Amino acid sequence: MNPLILFVTEHKKELQPYLDLFHTEKNGREYLYSKSDYRILFFSNNGKGGLDLLHTLYRLKDKWQPSIVVNGGLAGSLAEHDSPGTVFTVEGGLMADIAAEKVEHPYIDAGLKGLSSRRLITLPYLQPGCHKKALVWGSLVDLEGYYLLSWAKFNRVPVLLYKMVSDRNESREKISYPDMNPLAEVFKKDLEYLAPVIQDPVSLEALLSLSLPLEKSFEAVSVGRECRENNLTFTRRHQWYQSLKMVNEKKCRETPEEKRAFLFMEKGLSRESDYRCYFSGRTVFNITHYLDYFQVPDNPNVSALFIAHKKGELIREKGERYGRPGWSHYSAINGYNCPMDCAYCFLKGYFKNHSPVLFTNRDELLEAMARESHKQKKPLLFHFGDYCDGGVYDALTENISWFSQGIAPYSSVFCEFRTKAVGLGHLAKAPAHGRLSIGFSLAPQRAIDTWEKKTPPLEERLKQARRLHKNGFPISFHLDPLILQNESDLVSYEELARILRDEWAMRGVFSISMGTLRMKRDSFRYIRDNGYAAVLQGLISDQGFYRYDEVLRQEAYNRVGRVLKEGFGDHFYVCMD
């Protein structure tokens, strides 16, 4: 039996252009189009709503066993640049009450999508209006798309959604249908990409596993052919898909427009005018709770930043092998994420959303640090910069100078602000405290150019370290992670270690560390699947981590660590190994 595409619409008028274009035959309540190599079954839900659509999908699935499900229909757009009549595929969606500013059901990826795609918000009922805040979730709005996404995910059936922009999410007493023919024409054109993969389950599997857009289905067909020729089992096929992701950098979907820049501030925050001024290029929204927006994967068409009050955990004890021996080490949580773009950053797979968050309740954070110090006999070192960059926004927050003074009464409390930022000139006249250090993350310039996008050059970081040291701030350096893909990489880290030894051994540092690249599975998978796979070369799965083999790690410690130990003695440590 030829493979079948199940094509559903919510309304009959959305379906009619397809019936006219494909010259179908009526088959009960459905309409069938047959070719020599595939079939399409068309069906309209006649406006009965999402729940009824779910029941119908189960009935049709049991009867027809479709290879994929396709939906075509209208959607409003919250984005002013999306002109009515424009057709997009849906890259994923969620269900949200945009009037109440609440996500009701979580984001689901569509799997099948084209190069020109948008995120979808399915509403519980019509909610006309601009609702620009909701652009952080998605730009298209409808009433049925999420039902198809959730059904497809549960039943493991690939789904493809087409949406044509009808209006600006306007209020209309009566639905008026624009010319729907462009929507049908796009689907007919895309059949040249779809037909080859639905005829071969392995090619369809490859298309989904490699996250290829429809326009690159020929690559999936080629992969499927090789899988069959080599008689690869399911496990071997998926191992190969992973290896292909490692060697082929995924191209991010290009968007013709500039990203919209939003600033979300929780209501009732002090210094609101300072935040507005510092982020003057962003459209400002006041919200009740940042998690209403941050809990959703970030929309690639939007650049968002959050100013919020941190609830719950403010400090977190670190692992046994972290930091200088003899100390108790804690993360101080004063922010999430970072505006820089380091290929290896574990934060890429840590949060669902990659937008920076700045937490303002530092009084409560200091109190938590003080309480913990009363429980410990050892000195405590609180690390600012584990879940964000510790210094990149300090010209605004002034956290470094504030905590320099705040920790003064607590003799066992030490702080380190770890950063790659160099915009710290405001600290020239700030009071330095001997128990608060600035820790610079360093790498050879060739590694910075390759793996640390949007970060300052090595020499600028070293210049800023010299200035701060002159102003009385203790300085730390961290060569972490070492990214070692060939001998010249290792040589470049050795050279950097010698530069630090020769210049800073006499000056003295608070601490200096090194550690080779390692990460947990979630971070590894996210980095592999989102355009950064090249940095993962050489990593193997080992004791719950992806890291280099023991021989290479030991060689790095023998060569780079030896230089650092020679220059800095007990102030040097190896991180997390």
The dotted CATH code for 4-199 is 3.40.50.1580
> Three-state SS for 244?
helix
Per-residue pLDDT of the chain (577 residues; tens, 9 = 90+): 799 999 999 999 999 999 999 989 998 889 999 998 999 999 999 999 999 999 999 999 999 999 999 999 999 999 888 889 999 999 999 999 999 999 999 999 999 999 999 999 999 998 888 788 999 999 999 999 999 999 999 999 999 999 999 988 876 655 567 888 999 999 999 999 999 999 999 999 999 999 999 999 999 999 999 999 999 999 999 989 888 887 655 444 444 456 889 999 999 999 999 999 999 999 999 999 999 999 999 898 899 999 999 999 999 999 877 888 889 999 999 999 999 999 999 998 899 999 999 999 999 999 999 999 999 889 999 999 999 999 999 999 999 999 999 999 999 999 999 999 999 999 998 888 899 999 999 999 999 999 999 999 999 999 999 999 999 999 999 999 999 999 999 999 999 999 999 999 999 999 999 999 999 998 999 998 888 999 999 999 998 899 999 999 999 999 999 999 999 999 999 986 7
For residue 36, give Cα distances in angstroms to 24, 26, 226, 370: 14, 18, 24, 75
Strand-strand pairing, 30-34 and 39-44? antiparallel
For residue 160, give Cα distances in angstroms to 6, 110, 111, 169, 433: 10, 7, 8, 22, 58
For residue 146, give Cα distances in angstroms to 141, 153, 155, 225: 10, 10, 14, 33
- Token pair recorded at residue 515: 């550690």
> Three-state SS for 560?
helix
- Token pair recorded at residue 245: 């992701």
Q: Could you identify the residue written with the tokens 């410990």?
A: 376
Among residues 494, 479, 485, 478, the alpha carbon closest in space to that of 548 is found at 485
Judged on CB neighbours under 10 Å (0-12, 13-18, 19+), 289 is middle
Model confidence pTM above 0.85: yes
The dotted CATH code for 309-574 is 3.80.30.30
The number of C-alpha atoms within 13 Å of 228 and in the hemisphere containing its C-beta is 12
Q: How far is CA 312 from the centre of its chain?
A: 23
Alpha-carbon gap, residue 432 to 471, rounded angstroms: 7
Look at residue 324 in the predicted model and tell me its pLDDT.
Answer: 83
For residue 278, give Cα distances in angstroms to 125, 229, 481, 540: 38, 59, 32, 43
Q: Is residue 213 reached through a cis peptide bond, with omega within 30 degrees of 0 on the bond before it?
A: no
- Strand ranges of the sheet holding 315-317, from the earlier edge strand across to the other edge: 315-317, 328-332, 380-384, 413-419, 436-441, 475-482, 511-516, 572-574
For residue 198, list its beta bridge partners. none
Alpha-carbon gap, residue 295 to 304, rounded angstroms: 13
Q: Where are the domains of the chain?
A: 4-199, 201-257, 309-574
Look at residue 173 in the predicted model and tell me its pLDDT.
Answer: 54
E strand or H helix at 161: strand 159-167
Q: Could you identify the residue written with the tokens 């849906």?
A: 90
Strand-strand pairing, 452-453 and 341-342? antiparallel
